[in-house]
Amino acid sequence: MKVIKSISILQNTIKKYKREGKIIGFVPTMGALHDGHLSLIKRSLKKTDITVVSIFVNPTQFGPNEDFNRYPRPIKKDMGLLKKLNTDILFLPNNEIMYKDPLTTVSVKNITNILCGKYRPGHFDGVCLVVNKLFNIIMPDYAFFGEKDFQQLIVIKKMVFDLNMSVKVIGCPIIREKDGLAMSSRNMYLNKEERKSASQINKILKYGKSEIEKGKSISLIKNSMKKQLKKLKYRKLEYLEILDEKTLSKINNKSKKARIFVAIYIGKTRLIDNMGVKII
Ligand code: AMP
């Protein structure tokens, strides 16, 4: 595995591969890798000739009171996992290399004002800026994103569409722990009791899904789910929404698929999860 920290070296390396006709796959991450990340990397390794993984805890997507400083950075362990998978390139830039007083912003409107965007102002601008930069540096044919961050996936797809970027964005399913908790680098913040509470989120989502698929009233289901979430220990519910999966707007007669979205604090740890639902 090549470990590259410099943008120009990475660009030259990619250009060489492109001249050889190689298909480039890209998986952006913030590290503290788990099986969720690894599933995206495996998908890229299967589909493309050269897989680039980036590890960069992107400061511009964190709010001033968020966990940028304490975000886990187990870089040696991550490198071991990436090597084991036979990842071709790890791109490991630092802040100074990535950001030299940029005056440019990348902003996707409307769909970033809801769900996480409503509670994390500026978050998606930070995500779009860094992903845009990474796409320009790596010029991938395919980029792999997890449905764990479903809103992010939709926002990136819209950015790529609006800006006519030539990368194909592939959404990959959520990987869960045995008890259903969606894998996340932030799960390691949870103590034993909090971890137990966190495992209930998935069960409540599953309940919501089965009730919606029985054709019951969305607003009644939402109320019942909220009640169940509020019973969890250490909770502060940020949002629970059931929206059209394609448009992220309210479900209407034309909606074919919905998605239940939840963001909840278990103790000090903010967890997000979501689940797709058929509409009958
Ligand atoms: P992060 O390191 O949190 O920025 O995540 C990097 C990528 O991994 C994003 O596309 C996430 O959506 C994806 N990801 C994180 N957790 C999971 C998971 N449990 N299952 C699938 N993909 C995930």
Quote the CA–CA distance of 136 and 133 in Å, as a whole number: 5
58: Cβ below 6 Å to ligand 1?
Answer: no
Q: What is the pLDDT along the chain (280 residues), one digit of tens a residue?
A: 999 999 999 999 999 999 999 999 999 999 999 999 999 999 999 999 999 999 999 999 999 999 999 999 999 999 999 999 999 999 999 999 999 999 999 999 999 999 999 999 999 999 999 999 999 999 999 999 999 999 999 999 999 999 999 999 999 999 999 999 999 999 999 999 999 999 999 999 999 999 999 999 999 999 999 999 999 977 899 999 999 999 999 999 999 999 999 999 999 999 999 999 999 8
Instruction: Identify the CA nearest to 150 among candidates 122, 178, 111.
Output: 111
C-beta 189 within 6 A of ligand 1: no
Tell me if 141 sits within 8 A of 25, measured CB to CB.
yes
**pTM of this prediction exceeds 0.75:** yes
Q: Which of 26, 29, 30, 37 to mutate to test the pocket of ligand 1 (most atoms within 8 A of CB)?
A: 37
Q: Strand ranges (DSSP E) for 109-250?
A: 142-146, 168-172, 235-244
Does the Cβ of 184 fall within 6 Å of ligand 1?
yes
